[in-house]
Structure 1
């Protein structure tokens, strides 16, 4: 390693382009041009395509899996250890819970001089049984001890690192997520909204409520669909629902919409690469997650000047202050979400005020350019200590 050149790899599980993966891609795209960049992932997909377009090499580790599988987990550990020894990375930066533990173990055994893990929300507080919580906690405890730094997106996760994982303040870094403020921006002219909607095949004469995210249990899209169906119990709310993303719950959501007879008014768009344009053409953004780290989806919606309604959970509430730059509702409470939707859909002035406050917050605190510079400084700080 020279004073100017770093050899860095990000380790991700899935090759999707949802929030966790976007954090890696945002950094790979903006690292110093002299940096040698590598992405390691379970398989190929949109994330690896984006990484290669940024100039990064891609290594596929097919035995990385989400579920606990002792045989495949040991294979993945061995594969990563050999990879880290061969490539001689200066920095291994891991993401996700179980993949992060395996990656940090392999990196520590391979003698990598800078091992960084970003916490995108801890799994063990949301465990469904005492045994599951103990297993998840033990994994995070082990992973933490293999890390030179653990990056937390907000103080709540930093507190868990200190109080439950026993990490010292010197090994914890709080660094909020960021977005590209030039890419995620409000509409220049309100008249453009109708043209954007026609181009996207969405109705120009109705308000649009949008969620962007993976259709699975964590993001809790069923809560939003149920709240939207409840709106119709009092008559047509004058708004359609747009779901951007895909996942295991898509079929069950489609069944619920069909039973309610609302198929013409609920639009399943799947994964899209034109998220900024889609956000700008809608009126309200909703994210009803059960748990989060610090969702890029909320930051991106706020960056586009949208009023947001989000579940009142750690991660979300660090971004949204109720009635100041968005609305919070109790997690899983479809009635409260439905009421919040009515409040925003019926009040254009409130939508404008909350949207403007959200944009001001991301401009002040969540610029991706500054975040990447801060991350590079963290890498160099660790390397200067360990070399």
Structure 2
């Protein structure tokens, strides 16, 4: 299991690793556990302990950020070659653009089959031209080095089937969510969680609470929510609160922007939270404003939790939002459009329920496909 940063393994591959072990595989993880990506230091330490407790063999590879430098990538290739020299791998499963490219490059040299999960291609309809100029040729070239290409949304799957050259192209619904157990949560439990979270954050019971979950980064685009709120009057804002659960570099920028329209006392950055379901239950509306997503697990979590979702009009997210049913879609660069949707929800707070079309995103269905993929290499 290989990714440039440890957070990609920690956040998306626990169950894949357990599936592999259930099939009798010895599992190795090659990633950067020093510069570990978008998770907290404590979370990284817990991940390392989890690997040790579960008999996973960890290899530190000094992958750099984004696509790395020539010098850094050569160093990473050398480190990977040493790992491959001393181990007889049945196959590798690679993630993230940099990790997948360097991993498949070395695997090809050692004649090891490669599975690649594309967690959202960096080129897509309506996306920046730079994604098509830089990443499309790379993905096309390295698809020749790919035995199984796994995509996680309808748009990427259609593109991969038409243009990529992996031996097999498969679609799964991301890492899935625990639909079955989420739907066993009672109204009383949801009500208690709502009360507890609002009490902790000093948010009145009758206030209108908006929430987002995601890294505080430009890509996650939380600023557009504040821009939409800035279009409202002081009277309208007096009963609206907005909270974001996540870590990242844009915290101060977001706080400062909230101050420009006197919203800072109703705006809370919660940092890393392990009680996202409770935050969803406490919210009247969840907003997922990301500029680019493969699928967008945070948005999927919210709608499966029964929270009305305003999500970005981008591939992946649109796979699980049906307009005026469980949410609405908006252009991520249009605070005016988002403002109108928030106003609509304010006038009539939407109530959602369990929708059958979300069942396909359940853990069990995703794990069944992954078990079949891994089983094909036995």
TM-score bucket (shorter structure): 0.7 to 0.9
> Is the deviation greater in 24-33 or in 235-244?
24-33
Q: Could you state the TM-score of these two structures normalised by the residue count of structure 1?
A: 0.85
1:27 partner SS: helix
- Counterpart check, 1:135 vs 2:134: yes
Q: Deviations over 1:132-180 (max 9, x none)?
A: 6433222212321111011011231022223343x26x51101112112
- For residues 170 and 337 of structure 2, the distance between their equivalents in structure 1, rounded to whole angstroms, comes to 35
After superposition, residues 57-68 of structure 1 pair within 5 angstroms as: 57-68=57-68
Q: Which residue does the alignment assign to 1:24?
A: 13
Give the equivalent residue in structure 2 for 1:53. Answer: 50
Contact 2:31–2:63 (CA<8 Å) still a contact in 1?
no
What is the TM-score of this pair, normalised by structure 2? Answer: 0.87
Report the count of equivalent residues.
Answer: 362
Conserved? CA contact 1:13–1:96, under 8 Å: yes
Q: Deviation at 1:257?
A: 0.8
The answer to whether the 8 A contact 1:283-1:306 is kept is yes
Deviation at 1:283, TM superposition (A): 1.7
Instruction: Indicate whether 1:330 and 2:331 are aligned.
Output: yes
Match of 1:188 in 2: 187
Change in Cα spacing, 1:276 to 1:317, as seen in structure 2 (3 Å) is same
**1:327 aligns to what SS in structure 2?**
strand
**Alpha-carbon contact 2:194-2:278 (below 8 Å) kept:** no
Task: Note closer, same or farther for the CA distance 1:124–1:312 as it changes in structure 2 (3 Å cut).
Answer: closer
| 2:79 pairs with 1:89 | no
Deviation at 1:22, TM superposition (A): 2.1
Aligned residue in 2 for 1:171: 168
CA contact (8 A) 1:120 1:152 kept: yes
Identify if the C-alpha distance between structure 1 residues 47 and 208 changes in structure 2 by more than 3 Å, giving closer, same or farther: same
Partner of 2:105: 105
Is the CA contact 1:187–1:193 (under 8 Å) kept in the aligned structure 2?
Answer: no
**1:293-335, CA deviations, whole angstroms, 9 ceiling, x for partnerless residues?**
1111112112211110001111111111211221111231111
Partners of 2:6 and 2:33 within 8 A in 1: yes
Contact 1:242 1:268 (8 Å CA) reproduced: yes
The separation in 1 between residues aligned to 2:15 and 2:230, in whole angstroms, is 36
Alignment match, 2:38: none
Check the 8 A contact 1:208/1:240 in 2, yes or no: yes
Name the structure 2 match of 1:144: 143
Please give the residue correspondences for 1:266-285 in structure 2 after superposition, counting only pairs within 5 Å: 266-285=267-286
CA separation in 2, counterparts of 1:31 and 1:303?
Answer: 27
- Runs of 5+ in structure 2 lacking a partner? 35-40
Unpaired stretches in structure 1, ≥5 consecutive residues: 1-9
Whether the 8 Å CA contact 2:210–2:285 is kept in 1: the answer is yes
Task: Tell me if 1:41 matches 2:37.
Answer: no
CA offset digits 1:31-60 (Å, max 9, x no partner) = 554443333221254256336426134322
Tell me whether 1:380 sits opposite 2:375 in the alignment: yes
SS of residue in 2 equivalent to 1:328: strand
Give the secondary-structure state (helix, strand or coil) at the position aligned to 2:121.
coil
Instruction: Give 2:200's aligned residue.
Output: 200
Shift in alpha-carbon separation, 1:202–1:301, aligned structure 2, 3 A? farther
C-alpha distance in 2, partners of 1:30/1:345? 44
CA–CA separation in structure 1 for the residues paired with 2:104 and 2:274: 31
Please list the CA deviations of residues 331-354 of structure 1 after superposition, one character each: whole Å capped at 9, or x if unmatched: 311111111112123313xx21xx
SS in 2 for 1:16: helix
Cα drift, residue 129 of structure 1: 5.0
Name 1:339's counterpart in structure 2: 340
Paired residue secondary structure (1:197): helix
Partner of 2:228: 227
More displaced stretch, 302-311 vs 61-70: 61-70
Tell me, yes or no, if the aligned pair for 2:209 and 2:284 is still in contact at 8 Å. yes
Q: CA deviation at 1:243?
A: 0.5
Q: Partners of 2:162 and 2:192 in 1: how far apart? A: 50
3-state secondary structure, aligned to 1:231: coil
**Aligned-pair distance for 1:85?**
3.2
Say whether 1:254 aligns with 2:249.
Answer: no
Q: Which whole-Å CA distance do the structure 2 matches of 1:52 and 1:183 have between them?
A: 27
CA-based RMSD of the aligned residues comes to 2.5
Taking the aligned partners of 1:278 and 1:171, their CA distance within structure 2 comes to 39
